[in-house]
Amino acid sequence: MTRTFPSVPLAALLLARFVAAQEVLDQSYVPNALTNGLEVTSAQPVTQTFTVGITGLLTRIEISRIAQHRGTPTQPLQVAIVTTVGGVPTTNVLASIQVQPSSVPSATGPVQVDLLPFVLSMQQGTVLGIALSSTALPGTQTYAWSGEAPNSTYANGQVFIQGTTSLPAWDLAFQTWVVPRGSSANYGAGFPGTNGVPTLTASGPPSIGTVRSMLLANSSGISTLGAYVFGLSRANLPTPFGGTLLVQSSASVTVVLPPTGGTQPFLIPFVLAYCGLLVDVQGVVLDAGAAQGVAFSPGLELTIGG
């Protein structure tokens, strides 16, 4: 059996230092010269498609060049992220945010939209649409989204009106941000026991809002004690047991390892500030077949992501 990784040491480990969220600008089309634009009304919803360039969590978008049109609208602006089929927008809405007229600049400028609450985990190459709509009637106070046409230079998407009517020569100004997906990698050399060096792996990408498992092999082949050592940086510290401690220890958990190895849950809270945090882990196994009675796994470095 294994014991559940206690929440208090994990929280202490993750809060040991401040970590700024590692947002990355993914797609950006903000032309210096605005040569054209489209009005967003009840008769003309407008969608700009784009292609996700980085696998991870889509955290926010910017409608980079938008303004009130003919004065202050009385109806809000609806901003949605929609899926596409064959590059054409669908009615499948992944996220929808209502922007009040007072939040849209009277002169052309940006509007930021927070997507973090929708937990939009995206794969590189996925084509999405930024869909703007409003119940404002044509000829009244509406919204104008600006960009370039007919010589637009954004190659990874295009504009659609009325949902599926394409304007292939158009692109409207926007930007998107992503927190890259988490990753894990082994480092350093372990120290062998009866059946060689025990392996240590993660069950999946270490992303915020997930529970991943640390999978520690049992080199002894029989039920024995083991430990997981956690830290926020690598180390290279010789021990009296022949192996090297590869983690600057901040917390540890002792477990009973079955003959086939152990699975230890690792909870990663849904906290954007944890993205970019490096967590280092090493497994230790009591093994009579090791030179000094203890086998060591290689280190495992987790990069927390979205």
The pLDDT tens digits of the residues spanning 86-114 come to: 999 999 999 999 999 999 999 999 999 99
CATH of the domain at 14: 2.60.40
pLDDT confidence of residue 125: 98
Domain interval for residue 194: 7-20+181-303
Whether residue 155 is found in the same domain as residue 185: no
Lowest mean pLDDT of 31-35, 40-44, 124-128, name the range: 31-35
Q: Select the more confidently predicted residue: 21 or 8.
A: 21
More confident residue, 27 or 19: 27
Q: CATH number of the domain at 135, please.
A: 2.60.120
Structure tokens, 166: 């394409």
Dist. CA 162–CA 274, nearest whole Å: 40
Q: In what order do the strands lie in the sheet with 183-187?
A: 183-187, 294-303, 278-286, 224-238, 244-257
Runs of H (alpha helix) within the chain:
7-14
pLDDT at 21: 53
Domain presence at residue 84: yes
300 with 186: CB under 8 angstroms?
A: yes
Domain assignment present for residue 80? The answer is yes
Q: Check whether 279 has a pLDDT greater than 70.
A: yes
152 or 159, which is more confident?
A: 159
- In terms of domains, do 37 and 165 share one? yes
* 216 domain residue, yes or no: yes
CA distance 26 to 18: 24
Judgement on whether residues 71 and 89 belong to the same structural domain of the protein: yes
Average pLDDT for 67-73: 96
Q: What is the pLDDT of residue 161?
A: 97
Residue 271: the pLDDT is 85
The answer to whether residue 25 is domain-embedded is: no
Whether 2 is covered by a domain: the verdict is no
